[in-house]
Amino acid sequence: MATFELILLLLCAVILSAVLERMLPKLSIPLVQIGLGAVMGTIVTSTLDVMLNPHFFLVLFVAPLLFYEAKSSDKFGLWKNRTIILSLAIGLVVAISIAVGFGVHALLPTIPLAAAFALGFALGPTDAVAVSSLSETANLDRNVSARLYGEALLNDASGVVGFQFAVAAAVTGGTFSLLHGAVDFGIDFFGGIVLGVALGFLTIFIFKLIDQAELGSNVFYVLFDVTLPFVIFLLAEIISVSGVLAVVSAGIVIGIKESHQIGPSHSSLNIVTDNVWKVMTFTLNGIVFVLLGMQLPRAMLTTWNDSSISNLTLVACIIAITAILVAVRFVWLCVMESIEKDPSTSQRKGLSRHVAKSALLATIGGPKGAVTLSVILSLPFMLDDGSLFPERNLIIFLASGTIIMTLLLTNFLLPVLAPAEKTRDLHADDAESVARILRKVIDRLNSERTQANGQATDSVVLAYSNRLKKHMRKNELELDSTKQLTIDMLKHMQDYVCELIDNEETDPLAAYSYLSKLNKRIGYLRHHNESRWWINYVRKHMRTIKLSVSHYIRGRKEKIIHETGVSEFTLLQIRTVRESIRYLNDFVNDPKSPYPAESVANVKLSQQMILNHLLCGGPSVTAYTKKMDMMEDVQRRAYFIELEEIHNAVEEGAIDRHIGKDMRDNVFLMLVDLGEQYA
């Protein structure tokens, strides 16, 4: 029961973090989730007494997350920056471990050098989850992003292997054997890559056989894809090579193959798989950082309360370690980028202001995270001679504090160095082009409207009108046309009711009540009431008001209800709404209409729905079922029309091909959802 409660609380924290991220846009979601975890770990410690098994942690969380990141990574960017990425993934990790090891040992001599090296290797890997969220808070160019992604995918293996060697030296009391370490590292590193590539091609071959036999389904492919990273990681561990690198290399191979597959069936499968992975990775990411937050109080409290070392010294050591990390990383990146050749001139770039800025962005953009915590928590409690591992709690405290410091630097400093562009989701021209596509779908659906599919078409058109309205509001496009048309229509309805009153074609009391209702609707739209108009009208029609009182006294209203079963107010509404639809039809048939087609269609459909409700009340079950069946056909037709318009817009150059691809993927997803909904 305790395990179930823990899982439920973790999921609740992840869900809450998704809401808090919107409320706290200045904080990256890893920091929000760490904060939630820290609160949970402090307040409800009795329920959340959990100890992480580092190996289980790597299998359950790190393997699937890195697999998805590798599949969806920029393959061209990885290959283009392969030299720098490999230097960061191997050379920089070793350099950091040496610098941190000697630095920590000098600051805190009670920590043995081998244990200090273990801390350095644990702080070598960057966090792929935090790196993936940088695009939302900072404006990084493609090369910097590709290097950060590639480093985060590959440096886990070198950090974990180096950490294991350092711990072995600390436990046994021996020293490092560079030859033995280099051989073991080569087998672990390159063996993992070879195994991952082989298993990636084997997976592609299996998919091909299943396709040829026509035995596959979306459910099979999605489950196979989700299960694959766990199987690969465990196989790699069995044959003693890097499971992390095996998962990453397999993901890259499979991702390259999937990017070359085209067609509706592959598109729909990719959309479903991608959405499953997005939900799964968001959940796993959230659980990782919530667990990290839960572990921080336990990991830090013991050392914080230790009287043998002052709290000020602890904070100073964390700041010093963070400074060492930043300095070594910055120098390494400056050197690597300065000796890199410019593709256009084939000359080395040299150290320049641009190179230094790029190196600084990549330095700040490499925070530490879940992998660092998982490996540092695997420090043994005892040495081979039976004594306690020296300063284990202190080392965990230093690692935890450094994780927080690097995340804070990334969250607050990187947006200052490279502020994200405050642009709309689409450029103005692209946003207008997308709006035109949706308008054309509405126009074509209206042109194909018949008496048989009228209600179904109206419902689908209304849905497209709402999509268009949401798109225009999101991209800050002009929306006043719909609002102004509604106001003009309501004013016309007021004038029409006034004519009925003057011609004595309606009950004045019901008419004045309805006029008041229409006036309130106009006031809501304009954010003020037109009380002056109402007072002037009453002054003009005092005679009619007196007449309405006499009508009411004679019981005319009750007579009409008795004879027709419908109140005078309802009859007036029906006549007025019909007049409003006739008024709107003039704009539909007028090629020089001042209002866009979607605005007219949206307002008209709203009025038709009001009229249907006044005339018929709620629909019967049979009518509702028939309408839903018709809606499926009209909805499917609308999606195919949208695909045609997207294709035409791409071919004409009205929208970018990448935007067109995203739009087509969304339509395919809606088609899949439509098929499942009506299955």
Beta-carbon count within 10 A of 106 CB: 12
Q: What is the mean pLDDT of residues 335-343?
A: 77
Q: Which residues, 6+ apart, have CB-to-CB distance to 603 below 8 Å?
A: 482, 485, 486, 489, 584
pLDDT, residue 535, reads: 46
Which amino acid type is present at position 483?
Answer: K
- DSSP codes, 312-380: HHHHHHHHHHHHHHHHHHHHHHHHHHHHSBPTTT-SB--S-HHHHHHHHHHHHT----HHHHHHHTT--
Which amino acid type is present at position 112?
Answer: P
pLDDT, residue 561, reads: 43
Burial class (CB in 10 A: 0-12, 13-18, 19+), 552: middle
pLDDT, residue 675, reads: 56
Per-residue pLDDT at 199 exceeds 90:
yes
Of 445, 379, 476, 498, give the one whose Cα is nearest residue 605.
445
Distance between CA atoms of residues 671 and 658, nearest Å: 20
| This model's pTM is above 0.95 | no
Dihedral of CA atoms 390, 394, 398, 403 in degrees, nearest 10, equals 100
pLDDT, residue 324, reads: 94
CA distance readout (Å), 222 to 211, 268, 281, 460, 662: 14, 12, 14, 31, 20
Decide: 630 and 453 in contact? Cβ < 8 Å: yes
pLDDT band at 323 (very low <50, low <70, confident <90, very high): very high
Per-residue pLDDT at 621 exceeds 60:
no
> Which is more confident, 111 or 430?
111
Q: Angle at the Cα of 176 (from 171 to 178), degrees rounded to 5? A: 150
pLDDT, residue 678, reads: 42
Q: What is the mean pLDDT of residues 366-389?
A: 79
Name which of 71-85, 303-317, 386-400, 536-550 the model is least confident about. 536-550
pLDDT, residue 612, reads: 74
Give residue-wise pLDDT tens across range 62-93. 788 778 877 877 667 677 777 888 888 888 88
Instruction: Provide the mean pLDDT of the chain.
Output: 76
Per-residue pLDDT at 558 exceeds 50:
no
Within 13 A of 76's CA, how many CA atoms are on the CB side?
2
Within 13 A of 545's CA, how many CA atoms are on the CB side?
9
Note the Cα 566 to chain centre separation in Å.
Answer: 52
Beta-carbon count within 10 A of 229 CB: 25
Decide: 642 and 441 in contact? Cβ < 8 Å: yes
Q: What is the mean pLDDT of residues 25-39?
A: 80
Q: What is the mean pLDDT of residues 352-357?
A: 82
Which amino acid type is present at position 333?
Answer: L
Decide: 518 and 493 in contact? Cβ < 8 Å: yes
Q: What is the mean pLDDT of residues 45-51?
A: 51
- DSSP codes, 474-529: HTT---HHHHHHHHHHHHHHHHHHHHHHHTT-S-HHHHHHHHHHHHHHHHHHHTS-
pLDDT, residue 104, reads: 92
Classify each residue of 589-625 as buried b or exposed e, where b means 16 or more C-beta atoms within 10 Å of its C-beta: eeeeeebbbbbbbbbbbbbbeebeeeeeeeeeeeeee
pLDDT band at 560 (very low <50, low <70, confident <90, very high): very low
Q: Which residues, 6+ apart, have CB-to-CB distance to 241 below 8 Å?
A: 187, 188, 191, 192, 194, 195
Per-residue pLDDT at 587 exceeds 80:
no
pLDDT band at 343 (very low <50, low <70, confident <90, very high): low
Q: What is the mean pLDDT of residues 567-587?
A: 84
Distance between CA atoms of residues 323 and 363, nearest Å: 11
Distance between CA atoms of residues 467 and 216, nearest Å: 34
Per-residue pLDDT at 334 exceeds 70:
yes
Give residue-wise pLDDT tens across range 425-434. 445 556 777 8
pLDDT, residue 531, reads: 47
SS3 542: helix
Per-residue pLDDT at 248 exceeds 80:
yes
Looking at residue 655, what DSSP letter applies?
Answer: S
Number of residues assigned to the chain: 679
Decide: 28 and 404 in contact? Cβ < 8 Å: no
Distance between CA atoms of residues 495 and 504, nearest Å: 14
The helix (run of H) or strand (run of E) holding residue 202 is helix 178-213
Assigned token pair, 661: 């691809």
Per-residue pLDDT at 180 exceeds 50:
yes
Q: What is the mean pLDDT of residues 323-336?
A: 91
Assigned token pair, 248: 């990453």
Which amino acid type is present at position 328?
Answer: V
